[in-house]
C-alpha cells in the first residue's frame, strides 16, 4: 500500500501519512520516489506520520534513502524531518538519522499539528534573519 502524500513545493514541505496497511519500507520508497521525481525536494521539510505504520524499515533502508538524497543534492538548505509517532523510543532512532542525512535534523512529535507548528516557527525565524 502507498502512504497518503501532501506536497507543498511552494512551502518546501512534504507530509506523508501511513495508513493501516502501509509498512515503513513503503514510506521510505515513497519518499525516495518523491525526491527522484523532483530533486529539489531533497531539501524540503518532511512530516512523516507513522502512527498507523508498522516497522519493517531497517538501518540499510535509511542509508539507501540518505544516499539518494545526497545524490539529488541534499544539504544546500537546512531541512528537518518530523516523525509523528507514539513510540517513546523513536527519538533515539530519529537522532541517529541526523548522521546519515546532510544538513537535516530529525525530530519526533506526538501529533501532526505539533510538527507543523515546529516547522512553521523555524521558517518564520529564518525569514526574520534573512530580512535583517
Q: What is the pLDDT of residues 65-99, one digit of tens each?
A: 999 999 998 889 999 999 999 988 889 989 999 99
pLDDT score for 53: 79
- Helix (H) or strand (E) run with residue 25 in it: helix 24-37
Contact 4, 27 (CB under 8 A): no
Q: Can you give the pLDDT at residue 29?
A: 92
Query: Counting every residue, how long is the chain?
Result: 132
Residue stretches of the chain with pLDDT short of 70: 55, 123-132
Residue 125: predicted pLDDT: 58
The C-alpha atoms of residue 89 and residue 58 are separated, in whole angstroms, by: 15
Q: What are phi and psi of 74, to 5 degrees?
A: -60, 150
The count of domains in the chain is 1
The DSSP H or E segment spanning 81 is strand 79-84
Domain containing 76 equals 4-131
pLDDT of residue 20: 82
Can you give the pTM of this predicted structure? 0.89
Give me the CATH number covering residue 23: 3.30.750
C-alpha–C-alpha distance, residues 31 and 110, integer Å: 21
Amino acid at each position: 500500500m502507498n502512504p497518503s502524500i501532501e506536497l507543498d513545493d511552494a512551502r518546501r514541505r512534504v507530509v506523508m501519512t501511513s495508513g493501516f496497511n502501509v509498512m515503513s519500507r513503503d514510506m521510505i520508497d515513497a519518499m525516495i520516489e518523491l525526491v527522484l521525481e523532483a530533486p529539489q525536494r531533497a531539501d524540503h521539510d518532511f512530516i512523516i506520520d507513522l502512527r498507523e505504520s508498522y516497522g519493517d524499515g531497517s538501518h540499510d533502508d535509511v542509508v539507501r534513502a540518505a544516499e539518494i538524497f545526497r545524490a539529488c543534492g541534499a544539504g544546500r538548505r537546512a531541512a528537518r524531518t518530523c516523525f509523528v509517532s507514539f513510540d517513546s523510543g523513536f527519538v533515539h532512532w530519529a537522532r541517529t538519522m541526523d548522521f546519515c542525512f546532510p544538513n537535516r535534523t530529525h525530530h519526533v512529535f506526538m501529533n501532526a499539528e505539533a510538527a507543523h507548528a515546529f516547522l512553521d516557527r523555524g521558517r518564520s525565524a529564518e525569514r526574520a534573519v534573512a530580512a535583517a
